[in-house]
Amino acid sequence: FKFKSVDPDIFKPDIEIPEEYLLPPTKNLRVLHSSFIKNSGRGILGKDIKGSRYVHNAIEKLKRNGYSIELLYIDDLPSNVMRFYQVQSDIVVDQLIYGHWGSTAIECWALGKPVIGYLNPKWKEFFLKSFPEHKELPLIEANTENIYEIIKNLLDNKSLIKKIGNRSREFVMKQYN
């Protein structure tokens, strides 16, 4: 559970972004999804182990339905650079298949971002039992079948984005600081 810790002074919502990593201004809501598959050895036999195609499909469907949204898809950047893109996103989709979170979720929670992902119910139960100081987890639970509806709900209720982002940072400060 504590495989990673983050420095809250490096991963903070108001980090200064070097000019070479600044994204162009947009009125769209930015959804970040990163895979880190290409050179990781985790793309076993071409499998989509993070559910990327479902994220892409959901974003495209939301665009077709008139939502101002864009996907920021990134592969194989080191976290010392990745955080500059993570902090410029509005929502992050981690993984929709494996059933737990990884470095991306922890880093983005530290940056105050709401993170969407699939959480195996038994893993969640075990985590909460192991750390009774946490009554809930900040992960917005989704899977390959409902990712469209989960992102749409955030778009339709934008106040949740900030609220969940704040809870996410609080969680990281207690668990991964």
Residue 56 CA, chain-centre distance (Å), reads 14
Write the pLDDT tens digit of every residue in 105-157. 999 999 999 999 999 999 999 999 999 999 899 999 999 999 999 999 999 99
Per the CB < 8 A criterion, the answer to whether 30 and 88 are in contact is yes
Q: Name, in order, each residue with C-beta under 8 angstroms of 171's C-beta and a sequence gap of 6 or more.
A: 109, 134, 137, 138
| CB atoms inside a 10 Å sphere around CB 106 | 24
Task: Name the residue among 5, 1, 27 with its Cα closest to residue 109.
Answer: 5
pTM: 0.91
Average pLDDT over residues 96-102: 88
Per the CB < 8 A criterion, the answer to whether 151 and 68 are in contact is no
Task: Using alpha carbons, list the distances in angstroms from residue 89 to 22, 39, 108, 142, 146.
Answer: 11, 24, 9, 18, 21
Per the CB < 8 A criterion, the answer to whether 11 and 92 are in contact is no
Could you identify the residue written with the tokens 């592969």?
A: 75
Write the pLDDT tens digit of every residue in 19-76. 999 999 999 999 999 876 555 444 444 567 789 999 999 999 999 999 999 999 998 7
How much is the CA Rg of the chain, to the nearest whole Å?
16
End-to-end CA distance of the chain: give it in Å, rounded: 13
Backbone angles phi, psi at 59, to 5 degrees: -65, -45
| Higher per-residue confidence, 101 vs 153 | 153
